[in-house]
Amino acid sequence: MFDRKFRGVLWLGVAGTVGLFLALTLVLQWSIRYVPDFGFHWIQDATAIISQFLLLIAFVFMGAPVAQLFASFFIDRVAAAVEVKYYPQERQAGGATFNELLTAGLSFTAISVGLNLLAFPLQIAFVGVGTLVVLFVNGYLTARTFFELAALRHMSWREANLLRRKHRVRLFLGGALISLLAMVPFLNFFVPLFGTAMMTHEYNKLARSG
């Protein structure tokens, strides 16, 4: 995880996440100025506090979709570094193009964001149940995203999908671990690196075993 080849990816991920957080915070602060106070000055202050809290909660629980978005940009660089070090005999061949990888990553991200937004009310109303639902959903989506993006470097989407389905339970457990880390502030900066490296190892092991 601290290989020098990964540092550039890590800093890009940190900068992207912090930039997104700051942008949303500024937009939120600007929007609060237009909230009517109905003659009560404390309404805007209360709205600011509540909205900042909800934004923080959203970032904690939406860490996995954000990680998947970053993975779509960084997958090739990280996966290549892992394979050069651990699987030097492997070469990227016959896989998807960069545009196909990016499209797949963005598609998975859109689906994940949509499902997480639907599950978000559960997280507010039933904290324990909502967290388990989100962990289950993200475990599946994260495993699918990271594994298929790693596999698409070497094979067609159909072949990657078949390999993932064959080992769905093992990959789901790995996806759940990645999703759990994505819920932890600051650790989620490392999720794109960890998830990509982990699923690159998984792909190479499973592709050999069939």
Q: Is 46 a member of any domain?
A: no
List, for residues 181-210, the tens digit of each pLDDT value.
877 777 777 777 888 899 999 999 999 886
- Asked if residue 26 is part of any domain, the answer here is no
Asked if residue 5 is part of any domain, the answer here is no
Give domain status of residue 167, yes or no: yes
pTM: 0.72
pLDDT for the residue numbered 26? 83
CA distance 118 to 97: 32
> Angle, nearest 10°, between helix axes 42-61 and 98-125?
130
Q: Which range marks the domain in which residue 71 is found?
A: 61-209
State how many domains the chain has: 1
Which ranges of the chain does DSSP label H, i.e. alpha helix?
4-32, 42-61, 63-86, 98-125, 127-151, 157-166, 168-182, 191-209
On whether residue 68 sits in a domain, the answer given is yes
Q: Answer yes or no: is 119 within a domain.
A: yes
Give residue-wise pLDDT tens across range 21-68: 788 778 877 777 777 766 677 777 777 788 777 777 666 666 656 666
φ and ψ at residue 34, rounded to 5 degrees: -100, 5
Find the mean pLDDT for residues 1-22.
73
Say if residue 158's pLDDT is above 90: no
CA distance linking residue 32 with residue 24, whole number of Å:
12
In-domain check, residue 34: no
Is the pLDDT assigned to residue 1 strictly greater than 70?
A: no
* 179: nearest Cα among 131, 139, 129: 139
Residue 39, domain member (yes or no) = no
